[in-house]
């Protein structure tokens, strides 16, 4: 474990004015709080926070971040509290530690709905203080470096979470070195055979060709010396996972890959970057289509560099990145460069992105996403995709994800332009809307009055912004059409019973059907989610009794496999009309739970057992037990009136249990057989209105999880 003084010396190398007392106090406090705790490897637990602090010190981060790393597990794993940390180390550090604790508790690889909500919380934490994420990433990096001490199944879970979430997040923040190391550490766990195979190929290649990196580095230095350019040349072989990904993307073997070496040339000025580019291209032949100028068109996370690929010695392709020292700092540390120190003061790096502006631009489009799947899709598109740079006819630059189409371009300009798009020209040529835009192309969107978004555009668009705008527009277009149709259907149905479908009548129907307003009733009527008879029945139950065939139990749930049977979970007792999911059991078929059932958390780590189910729309028999928790006054005749109220609403009482008897009240559990959620609502409303009923609510018991009801 790194000692306190060694950590301070590491910080002093870039910040001589560091608060030595603060770091020492945090080191001693953290060690004391974690006393007696051990890691899976058997080492004292505090070796982990100390290592995380050292990782962040290597990134030249400020004292507050280093101290947060030393204390990042104290709130969660020790008796220390937020108030104690605030008193000892100040509010800023207490807030940072609290933020890291909350992130640690997020299950980012859980079910899709939870994952979307937790990503929202992740970005919220980032918007408050980006240093919280920097500590969390360093925490994950050290855990991955020491992952061998964990159980194999835990290793696999952590590695997949790292590959899916933390590595792309590090890359999106511009911390490319961390992304590569996280990916490679995860790759070592997920596919050790493939990684070992690539390493063996490298060893064989080195034996056959000698030290290629040293020879090419020497050649480049020679060319730069001839041109009179002072620069550092750094060469390396690409990480095993990076090579494996290229093999998968290009569907070719290791022997056919050419650009497995990468070189960086670090110059003193931006002007020298372009001089270096000229010298390299003059000496070696550039590979067409492999040139990117991120100096004139920087990435949104502040990354600047010139990328080119040339045919080097023996025809081998070599990737070269050219940038200044300040650009290199941002390329290595990304948004963390905003907090980095040099010579005792915060480094004024002109290329470092203001984290507040960066996270604001990142989260802006997510705020408009109400649907969990849409939000998750937008997050992943933004986090995982590389960029292409294209131009408007006026020469303005538009950044889009790789694979973007003219539809994405149109919506990137303005939502109004996107909605009115009827075609596009790329570099002056008319192209289909599904054409993929390439770097450097000029795009001209053709619009027309009266044009509206098409459903097929969802298959063409790739950006979260475009897809969200298209979905919203389609929903509005459909809604307007459905409301018009629903109004005609309602007018006709009400006319048949000599009534008028007034706004007041439709509002009353909305209240009975538990919908937002009259327009919602009409929209659902027009889209066939409601029938005209159901709307009539909601207003005039005596004139329009409900009709239709009763749906049997064998057809009650949609989404089951052939010959699969279901049982309702005892814990939540789901009813037709409620959102449901199924959990599969060997020999027991499927147990159906309400979507908000607390017992579902038991199965978070077993996604293969989950089934997406829903109830069949239509009339169900009064055959589904639900338990009501009722508190009534201890007066003569009260219980009889309660039973009568339930019977009048065509519900049968199958069981009744007194759970508490007091001189002035009784509390009892009443099992009633119901048709659906609306039936339950009507009974609770009737009981709630009874003067002698003190309280009534649905009874749910997570401890009764499992099947057992039909």
Homologous superfamily, domain 202-346:
Beta Polymerase, domain 2 (3.30.460.10)
Q: Is residue 380 over pLDDT 60?
A: no
What does the alpha-carbon distance between residue 675 and residue 575 come to, in Å, rounded to a whole number? 8
Q: Are 615 and 558 in contact (CB under 8 A)?
A: yes
Q: Are 321 and 305 in contact (CB under 8 A)?
A: yes
Q: Is residue 24 over pLDDT 90?
A: yes
Q: Other CB atoms closer than 10 Å to residue 95's CB: what's the count? A: 19
Choice among 192-201, 344-353, 508-517 with the minimum mean pLDDT? 344-353
* Structure confidence at residue 701 as a pLDDT band (50, 70, 90): confident
Is the model more confident about 283 or about 243?
283
Q: Catalytic amino acids?
A: 76-77
- Sign of the CA dihedral 536, 541, 544, 547? positive
Architecture of the domain delimited by 549-710: 2-Layer Sandwich (3.30)
399-412: average pLDDT = 87
Instruction: Tell me whether strands 580-585 and 557-558 are parallel, antiparallel or unpaired.
Output: unpaired
pLDDT of the residue at 665: 83
- Please count the residues of the chain: 710
308-324: average pLDDT = 81
Nearest CA to 577 among 618, 546, 548? Answer: 618
Q: Is residue 399 over pLDDT 70?
A: yes
What does the alpha-carbon distance between residue 30 and residue 458 come to, in Å, rounded to a whole number? 51
pLDDT tens-digit series, residues 124-142: 655 567 788 889 899 999 9
701-705's contacts with Cβ under 8 Å and 24+ in sequence apart are 701/570, 701/571, 702/571, 702/597, 702/598, 702/599, 703/571, 704/569, 704/570, 704/571, 705/569, 705/570, 705/571, 705/597, 705/599, 705/602
What does the alpha-carbon distance between residue 94 and residue 26 come to, in Å, rounded to a whole number? 12
What does the alpha-carbon distance between residue 50 and residue 54 come to, in Å, rounded to a whole number? 6
Domain 359-454: assigned CATH number: 3.10.20.30
Burial letters 394-424, b for 16+ CB under 10 A, else e: eeeebebbeebbbbbbbbbeebeebbbbeeb
* Structure confidence at residue 53 as a pLDDT band (50, 70, 90): very high
Q: Is residue 427 over pLDDT 70?
A: yes
318-333: average pLDDT = 85
Q: Where are the domains of the chain?
A: 4-190, 202-346, 359-454, 472-539, 549-710
DSSP secondary structure letter of residue 390: E
pLDDT of the residue at 70: 94
What does the alpha-carbon distance between residue 276 and residue 39 come to, in Å, rounded to a whole number? 49
* Structure confidence at residue 593 as a pLDDT band (50, 70, 90): very high
Q: Encode 687-703 in three state secondary structure.
A: HHHCCCEEEEEECCCHH
* Structure confidence at residue 117 as a pLDDT band (50, 70, 90): low
Q: Is residue 14 over pLDDT 70?
A: yes
4-190: CATH topology is Hypothetical protein af1432 (1.10.3210)
649-662: average pLDDT = 83
**CA angle (455, 459, 463) in 5-degree steps:** 105
What does the alpha-carbon distance between residue 217 and residue 209 come to, in Å, rounded to a whole number? 15
461-488: average pLDDT = 82
34-41's contacts with Cβ under 8 Å and 24+ in sequence apart are 34/73, 34/74, 34/77, 34/78, 37/77, 37/78, 39/146, 39/149, 40/149, 40/150, 41/146, 41/149
Choice among 356-370, 494-508, 628-642 with the minimum mean pLDDT? 356-370
Q: Are 271 and 323 in contact (CB under 8 A)?
A: no
Helices (H) and strands (E) in the chain, counts: 28, 22
Give the containing element (helix H, strand E) for 249.
helix 240-250
101-111: average pLDDT = 60
* Structure confidence at residue 354 as a pLDDT band (50, 70, 90): low
pLDDT tens-digit series, residues 539-550: 887 664 454 567
The proportion of the chain whose per-residue pLDDT surpasses 70, expressed as a percent, equals 83
Alpha helices by DSSP H, listed for 72-211, are 74-77, 82-89, 91-104, 112-128, 131-145, 152-161, 167-172, 176-190, 192-209
Q: Does pTM top 0.85 for this prediction?
A: no
Give the containing element (helix H, strand E) for 423.
strand 421-426
Q: Is residue 342 over pLDDT 50?
A: yes
590-613: average pLDDT = 86
The proportion of the chain whose per-residue pLDDT surpasses 90, expressed as a percent, equals 22
* Structure confidence at residue 554 as a pLDDT band (50, 70, 90): confident
pLDDT of the residue at 374: 52
Q: Is residue 372 over pLDDT 70?
A: no
Q: Is residue 285 over pLDDT 70?
A: yes
What does the alpha-carbon distance between residue 196 and residue 624 come to, in Å, rounded to a whole number? 57
Give the containing element (helix H, strand E) for 485.
helix 464-496
DSSP secondary structure of 3-25: -HHHHHHHHHTT-TT--HHHHHH
pLDDT of the residue at 493: 78
């Amino acid at each position: 474990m790194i000692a306190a003084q060694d950590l301070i010396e590491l910080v002093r190398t870039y910040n001589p004015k560091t608060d030595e007392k603060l770091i020492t106090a945090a080191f001693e406090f953290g060690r004391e709080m974690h006393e007696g705790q051990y890691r899976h490897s058997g080492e004292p637990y505090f070796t982990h926070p100390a290592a995380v602090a050292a990782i962040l010190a290597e990134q030249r981060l400020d004292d507050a971040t280093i101290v947060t790393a030393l204390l990042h597990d104290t709130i969660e794993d020790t008796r220390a509290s937020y108030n104690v940390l605030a008193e000892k180390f100040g509010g800023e550090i207490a807030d940072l530690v609290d933020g890291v604790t909350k992130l640690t508790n997020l299950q980012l690889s859980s079910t899709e709905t939870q994952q979307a909500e937790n990503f929202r919380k992740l970005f919220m934490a980032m918007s408050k203080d980006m240093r919280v994420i920097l500590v969390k990433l360093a925490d994950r990096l050290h855990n991955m470096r020491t992952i061998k001490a964990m159980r194999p199944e835990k290793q696999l879970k952590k590695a997949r979470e790292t590959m899916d979430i933390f590595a792309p997040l590090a890359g999106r923040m511009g911390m490319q070195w961390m992304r590569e190391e996280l990916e490679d550490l995860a790759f070592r766990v997920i596919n050790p055979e493939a990684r070992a195979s690539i390493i063996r190929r490298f060893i064989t290649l080195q034996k056959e060709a000698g030290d290629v990196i040293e020879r090419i580095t020497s050649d480049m230095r020679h060319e730069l010396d001839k041109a009179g350019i002072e620069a550092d040349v750094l060469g390396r072989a690409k990480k095993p996972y990076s090579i494996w990904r290229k093999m998968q993307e290009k569907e070719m073997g290791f022997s056919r890959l050419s650009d497995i070496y990468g070189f960086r040339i670090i110059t003193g000025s931006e002007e020298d970057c372009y001089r270096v580019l000229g010298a390299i291209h003059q000496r070696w032949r550039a590979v067409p289509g492999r040139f990117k100028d991120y100096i004139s068109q920087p990435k949104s996370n502040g990354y600047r560099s010139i990328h080119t690929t040339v045919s080097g010695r023996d025809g081998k392709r070599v990737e070269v990145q050219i940038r200044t020292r300040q650009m290199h700092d941002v390329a290595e540390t990304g948004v963390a460069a905003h907090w980095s120190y040099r010579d005792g003061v915060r480094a004024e790096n002109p290329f470092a992105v203001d984290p507040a502006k960066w996270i604001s631009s990142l989260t802006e489009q997510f705020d408009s996403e109400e649907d969990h799947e849409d939000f998750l899709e937008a997050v992943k598109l933004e986090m995982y995709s590389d960029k292409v740079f294209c131009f408007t006819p006026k020469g303005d630059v538009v950044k889009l994800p790789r694979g973007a189409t003219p539809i994405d371009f149109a919506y990137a300009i303005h939502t109004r332009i996107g909605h009115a798009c009827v075609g596009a020209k790329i570099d002056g040529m008319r192209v289909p809307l599904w054409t993929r835009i390439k770097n450097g192309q000029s795009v001209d969107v053709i619009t027309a009055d009266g044009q509206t978004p098409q459903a097929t555009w969802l298959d063409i668009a790739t950006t979260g912004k475009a897809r969200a705008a298209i979905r919203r527009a389609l929903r509005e277009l459909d809604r307007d059409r459905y409301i018009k149709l629903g109004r005609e259907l309602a007018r006709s149905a009400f006319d048949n019973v000599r009534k008028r479908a007034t706004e007041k009548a439709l509002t009353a129907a909305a209240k009975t059907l538990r919908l937002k307003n009259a327009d919602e009733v009409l929209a659902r009527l027009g889209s066939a989610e409601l029938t005209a008879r159901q709307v009539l029945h909601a207003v005039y139950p005596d004139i329009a009794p409900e009709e239709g065939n009763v749906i049997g139990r064998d057809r009650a749930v949609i989404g089951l496999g052939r010959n699969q049977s279901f049982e309702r979970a005892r814990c939540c007792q789901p009813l037709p009309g409620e959102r449901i999911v199924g959990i599969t059991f060997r020999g027991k078929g499927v147990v159906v739970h309400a979507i908000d059932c607390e017992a579902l958390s038991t199965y978070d780590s077993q996604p293969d057992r989950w089934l997406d189910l829903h109830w069949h729309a239509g009339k169900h028999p009064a055959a589904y037990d639900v338990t009501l928790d009722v508190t009534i006054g201890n007066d003569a005749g009260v219980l009889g009136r309660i039973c009568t109220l339930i019977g009048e609403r065509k519900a049968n009482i199958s069981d009744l249990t007194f759970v508490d008897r007091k001189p002035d009240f009784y509390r009892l559990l009443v099992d009633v057989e119901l048709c659906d959620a609306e039936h339950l609502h009507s009974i609770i409303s009737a009981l709630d209105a009874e003067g002698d009923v003190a309280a009534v609510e649905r009874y749910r018991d997570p401890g009764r999880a499992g099947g057992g009801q039909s």
